[in-house]
Amino acid sequence: MKRLYPHHIHDCRQLSAILSRYLDTLQGAPLRIGMTQISAATAIPVSIFQRLRNCQTPTAVEDTEVTPTDFHILFANLLFRYPTVKMWEDEEDHTVIFEL
């Protein structure tokens, strides 16, 4: 297992999938951190989270002007605000695992 850092990834679909699982992890955590709380804590509108979260399909990324930098900025804000969630990648099958 190795630590996963989103700013090292440049595939928007993969970043979108990681973002979706990250947000699900926060919502499923014992504190039940919802999208409105995340939005208020990071000062990023919920619509931005939803737009980037929905970029998992190939056509969604092509239809928008979303870049990996957009994800990197978002993750920087999230990881600063919620540092207890750590991401790991299994080196054998490349699955992403979240740890609280």
Residue 25: give the domain boundaries.
2-99
Per-residue pLDDT, 63: 64
**pTM, whole model, 2 decimals?**
0.88
Count of structural domains within the chain: 1
Per-residue pLDDT, 54: 87
Per-residue pLDDT, 91: 85
Please give the backbone phi and psi of residue 72, each rounded to the nearest 5 degrees, phi first: -60, -40
Cα(7)–Cα(76) distance, integer angstroms: 8
Per-residue pLDDT, 39: 93
Structural contact between residues 85 and 22, judged by C-beta atoms closer than 8 angstroms = yes
Tens-digit pLDDT profile for residues 44-92: 999 999 989 888 876 666 667 888 999 999 999 999 998 888 899 988 8
Per-residue pLDDT, 68: 92
